[in-house]
């Protein structure tokens, strides 16, 4: 695991975007895994700018998002689908048909999740997966659990995640209590992983992810077993590893 400690949020965002752009330039038909949450917003801002400047091209890029709340339609203003259009897709030259965000209103989730895995495989697998991390160490919506989930699946969200994410909703009761997410296995099959983390509230999780045991009770610790992970950590989030 390569850990890059960054001076501030802006530096973290710029370095992560440069790392993604460098990979995108190496390959046509790039398959990019994307994340939501407040942390990657700056990374997306940099990618938008690079696309505007003609440095990177999304024409043949396919994207797959990590997760989505169950029970929110794609056009709901708190859905991750809506977030992705507002923070990235509306501003880059990506084709709509190449965008994939998990669907939070499936009637048969098992079948839907298998289809999502098949679509990723059919695209050639994820070349790069961008990740943020929850304060309890969750990646995607893989919450602390008894085992690492292998494929895309549905999950019940923990109280701490519901509380963390309630800042985006009018009231805590509006936060969905379940979600559909790529599994830890799906994430680990990505050829390269880039994580962005900022804020003092993530410092303990950063330390446990990097130095703690590999355990499903700290989902991000699985990344210790991936051969190509770069974590861009802003100074405050890195204070327990410095
Ligand atoms: C959500 C997403 C995660 C994200 C996390 C952290 O729960 N499912 O993918 O990493 O939030 O969000 P933030 O970056 O806002 O702290």
pLDDT (tens digit per residue) in 119-149: 999 999 999 999 999 999 999 999 999 999 9
- Ligand 1 atom with least separation from CA of 66: 9
HSE, CB side, 13 Å, CA atoms: give it for residue 146.
0
Residue-level pLDDT at 177: 97
Which residue's entry shows tokens 């949020």? 9
Query: Are 68 and 102 a contacting pair, CB within 8 Å?
Result: yes
Q: ∠ CA(178), CA(122), CA(155), 5° rounding?
A: 10
Residue-level pLDDT at 128: 98
Round to whole Å and give the CA distance between 113 and 177.
18
Q: What is the pTM of this model?
A: 0.97
229, β-bridge pairs? 193
Q: Is 104 in the pocket of ligand 1 (CB under 6 A)?
A: no
pLDDT band at 201 (very low <50, low <70, confident <90, very high): very high
Round to whole Å and give the CA distance between 98 and 143.
28
Q: List the beta strands (DSSP E) in the chain.
A: 2-6, 31-34, 62-65, 67-69, 99-100, 128-131, 153-156, 178-181, 192-197, 229-234
Nearest to 59 by CA among 23, 20, 99: 99
> 68-91: string of b/e by CB count within 10 Å (b at 16+)?
bbbebebebeebbbbbbbebbbeb
DSSP 84: H
Residue-level pLDDT at 160: 92
HSE, CB side, 13 Å, CA atoms: give it for residue 225.
14
Residue-level pLDDT at 103: 96
Residue-level pLDDT at 208: 98
DSSP 201: G
Averaged pLDDT for residues 14-29: 97
Q: Is 237 in the pocket of ligand 1 (CB under 6 A)?
A: no
In three-state secondary structure terms, 204 is: helix
Distances (CA, A) of 201 to 3, 13, 139, 165, 239: 18, 18, 15, 13, 10
Q: Is 154 in the pocket of ligand 1 (CB under 6 A)?
A: no
Neighbours of 57 (CB within 10 A): 16
Averaged pLDDT for residues 191-201: 98
What end-to-end distance do the CA atoms of the chain give, in Å? Answer: 16
Cite the active site residues. 67, 136, 138, 143
Element (H, E) at 52: helix 41-52
Q: Is 132 in the pocket of ligand 1 (CB under 6 A)?
A: yes
Q: Which among 134, 163, 223 is the best mutation to test ligand 1's pocket, defined by most ligand atoms within 8 Å of the CB?
A: 134
Q: How far is the CA of 38 from the centre of ligand 1 (A)?
A: 7
Which residue has the CA at smallest separation from atom 11 of ligand 1? 37
Which residue's entry shows tokens 């965000």? 101
Q: Is 87 in the pocket of ligand 1 (CB under 6 A)?
A: no
Q: Which among 9, 12, 34, 39 is the best mutation to test ligand 1's pocket, defined by most ligand atoms within 8 Å of the CB?
A: 39
Mean pLDDT for the chain overall? 97
Q: Is 66 in the pocket of ligand 1 (CB under 6 A)?
A: yes
Residue-level pLDDT at 186: 98
């Amino acid at each position: 695991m390569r850990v890059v400690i960054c001076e501030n949020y802006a530096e973290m965002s710029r370095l992560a975007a440069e790392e993604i752009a460098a990979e995108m330039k190496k390959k046509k038909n790039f398959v990019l895994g994307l994340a939501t949450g407040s942390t990657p917003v700056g990374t997306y801002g940099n990618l938008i700018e690079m696309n505007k400047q003609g440095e990177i091209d999304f024409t043949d890029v396919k994207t797959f998002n990590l997760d989505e709340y169950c029970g929110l339609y794609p056009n709901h203003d708190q859905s991750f689908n809506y977030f992705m259009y507002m923070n990235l897709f509306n501003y880059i030259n990506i084709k709509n048909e190449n965008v994939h965000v998990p669907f939070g209103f499936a009637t048969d989730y098992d079948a839907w999740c298998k289809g999502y895995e098949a679509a990723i495989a059919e695209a050639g697998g994820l070349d790069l997966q961008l990740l943020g991390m929850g304060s309890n160490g969750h990646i995607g919506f893989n919450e602390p659990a008894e085992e690492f989930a292998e494929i895309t699946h549905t999950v019940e969200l923990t109280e701490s995640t519901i509380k963390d994410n309630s800042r985006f909703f009018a009231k805590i009761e509006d936060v969905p209590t379940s979600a559909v997410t790529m599994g830890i296995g799906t994430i680990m099959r990505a050829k390269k992983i880039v994580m962005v983390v900022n804020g003092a509230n993530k410092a303990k999780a950063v330390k446990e992810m990097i130095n703690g045991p590999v355990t499903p009770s700290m989902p991000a610790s699985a990344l210790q077993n991936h051969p190509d992970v770069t974590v861009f950590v802003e100074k405050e989030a890195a204070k327990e590893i410095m």
